[in-house]
A and B are shown apart, each in its own frame.
Chain A
């Protein structure tokens, strides 16, 4: 039995079924991310003035990621257009570019996570704080080495944008002088928890989209020979998801990197 309305539009909705399905799915996704944005607003506005982290994320990397996603949205659309005008070679080219751009996005994102997870705030027994990236932290040795700097209080670390020419050097700290030590993971504070949750969920969407697009680019493209119009509809549906992922990042970037 054939699945109905995979190509032709249903008379009552005016759309083929997969398109109604993806829009309903995207509506639920809006609520999912909406809940997280709402949590961000609640925590951000409730924070004491001057205590919310600012400038903790690398704007250059964030901008690069934004441009990559914008470019991938373009290549996704052009892949669909190529299918529409029956140019399979161009479809392969454009969707191949989309996959490469998505992988580039994910790699940059992973490097950011790595940067956060190797960045430590070390409270010393004398009240000072050493802040920087871990260079050496071997359990057998009685010292740790970080590439960072000393500050007198956590307030000095909140607004990094206001501080220019931060000089960092290699610091060796004996373990006996360490009162507590914590990396900038999601457990660090509200900002990092939100950052990891929101960008992590987004990255999972990018990964899922990449897998789907990769399937349609590779083994799934066999459908092109059998039913090109149905294949084109699949490309449109995956493209709508990809544009949504881009749309979410358009708001994540300013919220987490710029404000």
Chain B
């Protein structure tokens, strides 16, 4: 990315050189992200109307959540700058992902963990 196109209005302000910002390139980036988000929303809605004869509920949910994940990756990666963050942020998120996996794994485990002789339907 290049240096700012616009001259600073505040003389002597400290400049952050970690992320040199170009206004116009960000406008383009935001336009692309927004269009991608719209496409993802459109695909999710389309997937939710897929015929039940060809796609089971689980398959439809899997497709929709995959599209949502792609959309989430775009937002986190480009709008939250996760693609170019510091190691510290990745460390925090690494721990978070590990805990979330544990949380969901316990939920899934609990779904098949019944006391002995429990009658299930």
Contacts and interface: CB of A to CB of B under 8 A. Distances in A.
B36 to A, nearest CB: 10
Contacts of A27: 92-93, 95-96
Contacts of A8: 14
Interface stretch (A37-45, A105-113, A136-144): A37-45
A13 B10 contact: no
A82 B16 CA distance: 14
Given A41-B107, A87-B9, A247-B72, 15 more contacts: A7-B14, A8-B14, A23-B92, A34-B100, A38-B104, A74-B79, A82-B23, A85-B5, A243-B75, A243-B76, A247-B75, A250-B68, A250-B71, A250-B75, A258-B45
Nearest to A233: B16
Contact of B34 (A38, A71, A251): A71
Contacts of A45: 111
B8 interface: yes
Contacts of B92: 20, 23-24, 27
B104 A34 contact: yes
Contact of A251 (B7, B72, B110): B72
A85 B20 CA distance: 9
Contacts of A254: 44, 48, 64-65, 67-68
Given A82-B23, A84-B4, A88-B9, A31 B107 contact: no
Contact of A35 (B22, B67, B103): B103
B76 A70 contact: no
A238 to B, nearest CB: 12
Given A23-B93, A41-B107, A247-B72, A63 B45 contact: yes
B52 to A, nearest CB: 9
Interface of A: 7-9, 13-15, 19-20, 23-24, 27, 30-31, 34-35, 38-39, 41-42, 45-46, 48, 59, 63, 66-67, 70-71, 73-74, 77-78, 81-82, 84-88, 228-229, 232, 240, 243-244, 246-247, 250-251, 253-254, 258-259
B107 A86 contact: no
Contacts of B65: 251, 254
Interface residues of B, number: 58
Contacts of B37: 67, 70
Contacts, number: 143
A34 B4 CA distance: 39
A7 B13 CA distance: 11
A84 B26 CA distance: 11
Contacts of A66: 41
A232 B4 CA distance: 15
A247 B34 contact: no
A175 to B, nearest CB: 37
Q: Is the interface of A mostly helix, strand, loop or mixed?
A: helix
A164 to B, nearest CB: 12
Contacts of A247: 72, 75-76
B44 A15 contact: no
29 contacts: A7-B14, A14-B88, A23-B92, A31-B103, A34-B103, A35-B103, A38-B103, A39-B107, A42-B111, A66-B41, A71-B34, A73-B75, A73-B79, A77-B26, A77-B79, A82-B23, A85-B4, A85-B22, A228-B10, A243-B80, A244-B80, A250-B68, A250-B72, A250-B75, A251-B68, A253-B68, A254-B48, A254-B65, A258-B45
Contacts of A250: 68, 71-72, 75
